[in-house]
Structure 1
Amino acid sequence: MKNSILSIAFLSITAIGFSQETQSKYDEKLAKSLNADERGMKKYVFCLLKSGNNTTATKEESQKLFEGHMTNIGKLAKEGKLVLAGPFMKNDRNYRGIYIFNVETIEEAKALVATDPAIQSNLLEAELTPWYGTAALQETLKIHEKITKK
């Protein structure tokens, strides 16, 4: 009898724990604000930045163009058009960095890429492709601002 009661108690606790683990934490308002589909995903455009064919820019010119590049990144991020950007570490593929644009089409992303001084000057070259990822990626900037000291 004692074993039966313990077994029933164990099964009840396990069932309660399992139902809590599988219970959805879906937030409809948040999902809609991020334009998430039923999987919590959405379309973006992924941009691979590679070294461009401009090999004649002076060090001073390159520095000025990359300052504009960084300013442009900040502007696009504040506008919500750029949800992720960052450089690659040194590599042998001429990969320089990535952007993930919060747009659905290559044409929209081309217009945004055209605002980057480092790309305009051919110091960088952009390769664009559609990408499907978590709609939560748009929240990254808010979190990043909370963990950045300067």
Structure 2
Amino acid sequence: MIAETVCSAVSAAGLGIAAVTAYRKRFLKAARLVAYSLVPLGLVMTGAVEWAAETAFSPVAWAGFGVLGVSWLLFMTTRAVERRGGGTRKERKAAARAAQSEAVAPAASAPSLGPAKPPATRPQPKAKPRAADSSDDFSDIEAILKKHGI
């Protein structure tokens, strides 16, 4: 009963402010204020305010809102995990099998830009003699570069 009275008072106050606004020749703003002012009155007339007032003071309704919150939290958590993990378990297994059976870049050993041109005639500095163990350090890197045609 008190909620209906408050909503009716809010509507009456809004209509009064709209009347003053219309008196000041701001008709568009006044029409918008009338529209906003009629919303609480319409809610009272439909019974939505009574339902909301009963819901606000019901422990069962608050428990229901809690259950809905937990449900939403679970949905968002599973969605985040699914995005981070790459989908469901079946999808990850299928992707792993496809990655094993298919090469990522089958033509990676072929040069992509054609044969290399010799550099311009620039005097090359004389290479310093390296120790035998320093060339072993770069042998793995050289093998990888040769494999990819670089």
- TM-score > 0.5 by shorter chain: no
- Compare the two structures and name the one with the higher helix fraction: 2
- Structure with the bigger RCO (C-alpha within 8 Å, sep 6+) is 1
Shorter-chain TM-score tier: under 0.3
TM-score normalised by structure 1 residue count: 0.25
TM-score normalised by structure 2 residue count: 0.25
- Compare the two structures and name the one with the higher strand fraction: 1
